[in-house]
Structure 1
């Protein structure tokens, strides 16, 4: 039986660099043109103020769920906060910022992973902007959403109370890239409050346009550390999360925070008492609060490894970053997200070539929403897409990623529905149907 039709036909044509929605030709979010808006500001000698994400309470917390004293909020430009504002100071680093009064650790854990890849940072935060030449109080950032890149324009007015930034803030007082990046993402989400709670994978994908793979650490493959090691070499971005406790963000005796997102910043193998020990390095986006068990900053185990390994790994700074064994990592965290532009690490080979194809479809009541395999009478009506692998192809792996596209701009108002997919081999005799 042929596959049912869907509202949006599958897209098989290859993506070109100049295609609308590509990195080189991103879609203008809310139809705002950064270059045109900046040009008008410079001609009229005024600083930009964004009408689509205004500096008022509607952009912070329209539903009043954060418990902030909104009557005390003042929106200030960086030049009104410090004398010499800079977008970045000595580049970008995972140690630049600390989380503010917003439960968006999932977003900041993703930012921590982002800072390792300078080329991706330059995609997300274009280099054609600063507080110097042609400054007009306007900035822009690029995010990937459901197969397309968007260019998001913001003004640089930031919410403060008593001249202090309410949300994410840099540890260097005159550095503002973390706060401006967070504001741009808040605009995409609908408001700052719409960023509350989420998964690391969400922002990782929207920073990269890459493929995300999630591993349940309770059932993780035995070679997971080796996969992580290959992922690091493939310049993948990684994050992890802990199980929720009875009390939100409760600190356990071992220093780990429950219901919290972290960045995975590296893996390393040391020799301890003649045996190899596989370690994982993790970062708390709060910028403080660390694991205090084996292989933590002050663990006595470090004194029994070589000075070379100590100098490469050990740090006594209270910066939120720490090492732990792979065994403790899988016990302490619930899941691991790996996001990469090309999932080369799955093959363990740098010579593989990956191609991608995007299909668009929908589940519509009464026509293409057939339910799971238990609904045998209607299951076949679900959207179907065929992937052909030629016999002479060198293909060894196929990776399928399913995304759920939301309709409401406000992230917190969207519902995540239970969706999934099944993969079936088509018998040779049915391949021509």
Structure 2
């Protein structure tokens, strides 16, 4: 879901700057981000400082996977490092994730002053746990990692799992040396992550995750270890609770799939019918899941394998007109929907995407007014879903034609009564889009969900290239009633 920022949409830009900001590239379906590769990049930007120097000097071959060694991040052994620190009488300072600005941010400088402090500098009696672990121990700080907090809260409900992540062989009393360690599941193995106990503070208070009891430090230390695993605290901004739950539990979410032919052609890897992985699942749970290992075309895969071998998933949401007035549907939320059928005509209404500024304004345009925020939205925003579907292209394949590359742009219109409609080239030359489809792509349908402040918005559906003939169906869904109209007619 995209949340629209009106300040950006109405900011003033020069034409050349806007051309750069609004440039569109058609999607390459073979291009995919690798979460693992992204994590390694971040690790060498913030975390792994000493390791990065060795990689850059040629001392370590970067292709030899220098990040995890014998189940330890950067090969750091907690017991050995703690014994060394105790013997020396000096508190441990982590050379891989030192208390400096790069451990906080990888893309920007700190926007405010902060200070790294150890717990014993913050409180008189620091403890890992105070009265045991509870979901109420977890409080968010200034970092946008509520997804991580939610996963930690769930973790406290299973003490066996919690103490796998937070080993109990450490404290602020016995053999205290300013060093702690935590364990996370990463890509098939449990990884031990060592940290020092310097924590980012401002005004003598923890900046990020903290417990309600100032003496309890387990939440702040877990957050730091997870930040080190991913390279910096900034790397934890935004994420999926499911992602963190996998890292905290080692459980591979499973996906149930059916071959539409319903025959013996099934997946034969991990979690396939009769595979060794199932021996760890109790029979009663297998019964609940309906596991029968028959050659019926139905099989299970790990989420990881599913993501590896499948590159597209389709989800069908029922529209309001498909829901019957029965008890089964009476309590379900109903979307308001407005539809238009339109056409792109070469040299008339097929202006192409915003890359073609001279003809872009000739595309069909639609004005949507949303007035009432969603009932459950604390930010007083409105949800709209825009769906653009091209019509009849499959039937044209025998003529050598296939799917057009299509998408749409969304513009905030501050005062529709004060400007000329439809919107002209000058409007698009000096106005930045408030949002647009995630991609311009050669699929039958593209859709995008937006959270928008109440107001008027213009939708401009288009093909990527100008002067391509095509028919389309545009639909706008909203939680509350909205008014919509074509502004070309």
Higher strand share: 2
Q: TM-score, normalised by structure 2?
A: 0.41
Bigger radius of gyration among the two: 2
Q: TM-score, normalised by structure 1?
A: 0.47
